[in-house]
Chain A
């Protein structure tokens, strides 16, 4: 069985402070991990995926297979980063997605 764990329901940081949203996974195969973001009153959208090793809006995430983690990081938080962030694992022939419970990021001005 696959599982995605996001231990923090809410993370509050001051503007300009570093951000780290934690994500741990459990999966027997080779995982494909993603971060999705949902801004207030908007649909869920892809933020970044581990396979492309990209930086989007200043966010990065590194897959650590040894620690089974895929933490999302940003060196300097901005107010516009306030949103719900979901870590997700894609697997299976039909590309089933398992979502974590989400972390609400609140950036305090």
Chain B
């Protein structure tokens, strides 16, 4: 099967610092990866679509200067939360779309729990 990993699984940081979260597709290439945010007991909210070799596409209301996305290779996308504040505390999930398949299937990472003190 297709596996997507995220690192770290949880991170605690001080307010004002930056945090980088990695999303890797382990056994397939992904031209497109997605970053979601999930609040407690709520659904996933798409933050941005990350495309290998080009700029990410951000959803309305998501600050691109705060949530920096870099899709440097076909197996790696990173989300950097810059100058983090307590309200950025959340569960961040990435997914990767497997290249070349007929179905529009996404494979999800296990998520990263970010806590900003």
Tell whether, in the assembled complex, residue B104 and residue A32 are in contact, meaning their CB atoms are under 8 Å apart. Answer: yes
Task: Evaluate contact between B49 and A46: CB separation under 8 angstroms.
Answer: no
Per the bound structure, the CA–CA distance linking A100 and B42 in Å amounts to 10
Judge whether A98 is part of the interface by a CB distance below 8 angstroms. Answer: yes
**A43 interfacial by beta-carbon distance below 8 Å:** yes
Question: Given A44-B108, A94-B57, A51–B44 Cβ distance below 8 Å?
Answer: no
Closest chain-A Cβ to B75's Cβ sits at a distance in Å of 18
- B61-117: which have CB < 8 Å to A? 93, 95, 97, 103-111
Cβ of A46 and Cβ of B34 under 8 Å apart?
no
Q: Is A40 an interface residue (CB 8 A)?
A: no
Contact of B97 with A95 in the complex, beta carbons under 8 Å: yes
Chain B interface mostly: strand
Question: How many residues of chain B have a CB within 8 Å of chain A?
Answer: 22
Q: In whole angstroms, how far apart are the Cα atoms of A32 and B102 in the complex?
A: 12
Task: Tell me whether chain A's interface is mostly helix, strand or loop, or mixed.
Answer: strand
**A9 to B, closest residue via Cβ:** B41
| A and B contact pairs by CB, cutoff 8 A, 9 listed | A32-B103, A36-B108, A43-B93, A46-B107, A86-B44, A94-B32, A97-B34, A100-B43, A102-B42
Given contacts A36-B108, A43-B93, A102-B43, list 9 more A-B pairs with CB under 8 A: A44-B108, A46-B106, A46-B107, A86-B43, A86-B44, A95-B97, A96-B46, A99-B46, A101-B43
* Interface residues, chain B, with chain A CB atoms under 8 Å away: 32, 34, 42-46, 49, 51, 57, 93, 95, 97, 103-111
